[in-house]
Structure formats: C-alpha cells, structure tokens
Amino acid sequence: MLPIVLLSCAALAQNAPPNTKNEQNPPVKVNVINVCTPSADEQQELKTALAKLPKSPAFDSDYEISRGVATVEEATRSKYVRLRREVKGESPLATVQYSLSVDPENTIETLVFRGRDVKDLLALSIEDKLSSSVSKPSSVLGADTPASRVRVERAGKTTVALARCENIDQSKYDAIFSQASSILADYRRVLHLKSMLASDIAWLSAGSSIQHSAKKGAPDAASSH
C-alpha cells in the first residue's frame, strides 16, 4: 500500500499549481543613468544623435502654441509656454517642441526632438536652466544660454544623458555641451520664437511673481492657440 501512497503524492505534486509568488511580485529592473560622467560609448551615442539633427528642417504650415500654469514640488507654481511644430515627411524628425517655463527659482528652456523612426531615435531633449531672479522671460530668447543637459531616448535601449554637475571635472564633455548649445541657439532662430511667441512671452512675464500669486490662491489664466 505504501508505494501507492507515494505515487499518489508524487502525482499530486506534479499537478499542483505553480508558485505564483514570482508572478505576483516580478523582479524590478532599475537602470541608473550616469548623467555626470557618461562612458565613452555613451558620449558617442550623444554626439551621433546630435549630429543627425537637421540645421533647417522643413516644417508643415500647421503649428500649436499652448500656455498654462502647473503645480510642481512643494505646491510651487510654474508658468509655461510651448510651441510644437511638425516636420515634413522626408525628414528623420517627426516633431520639434520648444518650451519655456518659469517658477520662483528657475527659468528653464527645453527643446525636444522626436524621431520619425523610433528605432533610430525616440526623443532627444536639450535643456538649459537659469535663475529666475536674474533672467526675465523676455530676455531669454536672445541670450543664447548654453545647454546644461542633453538626453537621448531610444526604443529598446538604455537612455543616455549628460548634465552639468557641480564639483566634477567635466572638461572632457565640453564638445558635447558645445554641440548641444549650438543646436539650441540655431533652433531658437529656426523656430522664429521671438515672433511666434511674442504675446505668450508677454503673458509669461506679466503680473506679480508666481510665488505671490500662489500664496494668494489667485488662479492664473491658461489658454491654447
């Protein structure tokens, strides 16, 4: 009788449902992006992506301008304006988007390129940051502020980025920052930002400080064109 019992137990073990613990709690993979000291391969990825951006893309006649107010960290309010342009079909780029945001601490410009073939380029962003206390939105477009951050996203690949970091010798990355800064300066003019965003920059600069408005609880108007 004993062999039968053992055989039954073995059969039950074989028919038992699989352990679902790993299915309910799958392992989490965390990719850490080294933005201060990227490797030689990552540097080359950044240079290659920047070099592929056309100097004078052919834009469609349609465009989109939006502006509004967003709540960021610690209930701080940020005002922003954005311009989005679509690029004609023969270009490797699908869209180009420029944004300028202002909060009580920082004024940030961001230029985002989205590729038409996501296998080649999902998105490339170039950013610069200035102190809001010394930089008015109306003066930012003509200042040609150098880039402080570059980020490249590719489908199925790890994101690559480079950012200015304090207390670190980043002289070896000067060529990449210079390349990104030149592109940012060129696209300020290619997008005709001074004329396209004239009224929106005036709205961004108008009125009391954002921090003062937030304390009073007075909502800022938001609109799109």
Check residues 21 and 94 and name the one with the higher pLDDT. 94
pLDDT exceeds cutoff 60 at 209: no
Dist. CA 94–CA 59, nearest whole Å: 10
60 secondary structure, DSSP code:
E
Dist. CA 46–CA 224, nearest whole Å: 33
**Tokens at 189, concatenated:** 């003019």
Range 76-105 average pLDDT: 92
**pLDDT tens, residue by residue, 140-174:** 888 889 999 999 998 888 899 999 999 999 999 99
pTM score of the predicted model:
0.77
CA-to-CA dists, residue 43 to 19, 180, 214, angstroms:
44, 12, 41
What confidence tier does 7 reach under pLDDT thresholds 50, 70, 90?
A: very low
